[in-house]
Amino acid sequence: MGKVLRGRSGRRRGAPDTRGEILAAARDVFGERGYDGASVRAIAAAAGVDPALVHHYFGTKEKLFLAAMDIPFDPELIADAVIDDAGGDGIGERAIRTFLGVWSQPAGRAPILALLRSAMQHEAAARLMRQFVTRAILGRVLVAFEGVPDGALRAEAMVSQLIGLAITRYVVKLEPIASVSDEELVRLIAPVLQRYYDGAFEQD
């Protein structure tokens, strides 16, 4: 790696692919420390650049993670699509339609599949995925569950249902779930997801 420029901008002089080197360092640091343990400062140090340069290219740690893992969606946009102004009304259908929309593009599906498969085989990858889902996705979805009894548990159940569907449909490819249309899945899964939001828990 090149020498770190000691000037005010924090940029490395003459580096042909500084952005690529930051991404490579980010993959290593995220892999070693998990999402929570990785910091922009640690990633910058591993890449041999000033932290300001990391922010210049990627803005936030979350966006750096998305770029490093090649994840083709923005959790903030996903959460906005699921929550919207309707609140809890129709949240089950919005959640499954948004989920299927993310998976609809084969090129964008590949990196998510790679992360899922890795998480199923390696504890470090599972920890990384768990922390990211908790912070970037579940943390935002919880806004819609404010005031709902057992809201955190219900939101987590909804997310876990969708992750399970992803594994069944796209990783294991269990039939007939793997082959049914998106609309059939919406009719099947949306009421289940909606019940996580407004259904009553059975009491012993």
- Whichever domain contains 54, its CATH number is 1.10.10.60
Instruction: Indicate if 104 and 133 belong to the same structural domain.
Output: yes
Instruction: Indicate if 60 and 116 belong to the same structural domain.
Output: no
Residue 50 lies inside a defined structural domain of this protein: yes
Six-digit token pair at 132?
């990211």
Residue 13 lies inside a defined structural domain of this protein: no
Count of beta carbons in the 10 Å neighbourhood of residue 178? 12
Give me the pLDDT at residue 159, please. 87
Q: Omega before 176 cis (within 30°)?
A: yes
| CB crowding 107-116: b at 16 or more within 10 Å, else e | eeeeebeebb
Instruction: Indicate if 85 and 52 belong to the same structural domain.
Output: no
Instruction: Indicate if 108 and 60 belong to the same structural domain.
Output: no
Domain count, the chain: 2
Instruction: Indicate if 118 and 22 belong to the same structural domain.
Output: no
Residue 9 lies inside a defined structural domain of this protein: no
Residue 203 lies inside a defined structural domain of this protein: no
Residue 11 lies inside a defined structural domain of this protein: no
Phi and psi, residue 8, nearest 5°: -75, -30
Instruction: Indicate if 118 and 193 belong to the same structural domain.
Output: yes
Instruction: Indicate if 57 and 138 belong to the same structural domain.
Output: no
Give me the pLDDT at residue 145, please. 86
Instruction: Indicate if 104 and 182 belong to the same structural domain.
Output: yes
53 contacts: CB under 8 Å, gap ≥ 6:
9, 10, 11, 12, 18, 22, 44
Residue 12 lies inside a defined structural domain of this protein: no
Instruction: Indicate if 167 and 183 belong to the same structural domain.
Output: yes
Residue 44 lies inside a defined structural domain of this protein: yes
Q: Of 68, 87, 105, at which residue does a domain stop?
A: 68
Q: What is the spatial distance between Cα 130 and Cα 137, in angstroms, rounded to a whole number?
A: 10
Mind listing the pLDDT tens digit of every residue in the chain (204 residues)?
A: 343 333 334 444 445 588 999 999 998 898 888 888 889 999 999 999 999 999 999 998 988 988 888 777 778 877 777 877 666 788 999 999 988 988 887 777 777 888 788 888 888 888 888 888 888 888 888 888 888 889 889 988 998 899 899 889 988 899 999 999 999 999 999 999 999 988 776 655
User: Considering only CA atoms, which of 135, 134, 72 is closest in space to residue 103?
Assistant: 72
Give me the pLDDT at residue 85, please. 64
DSSP 152-172: HHHHHHHHHHHHHHHIIIIIS
Single pTM value for the model = 0.71
Instruction: Indicate if 93 and 137 belong to the same structural domain.
Output: yes
Give me the pLDDT at residue 3, please. 35
| Structural domain range at position 41 | 18-68
Residue reference for tokens 């709902």: 148
**136 in Cβ contact with 36 (< 8 Å):** no
Residue 194 lies inside a defined structural domain of this protein: yes
Q: What is the spatial distance between Cα 197 and Cα 195, in angstroms, rounded to a whole number?
A: 5
Instruction: Indicate if 181 and 107 belong to the same structural domain.
Output: yes
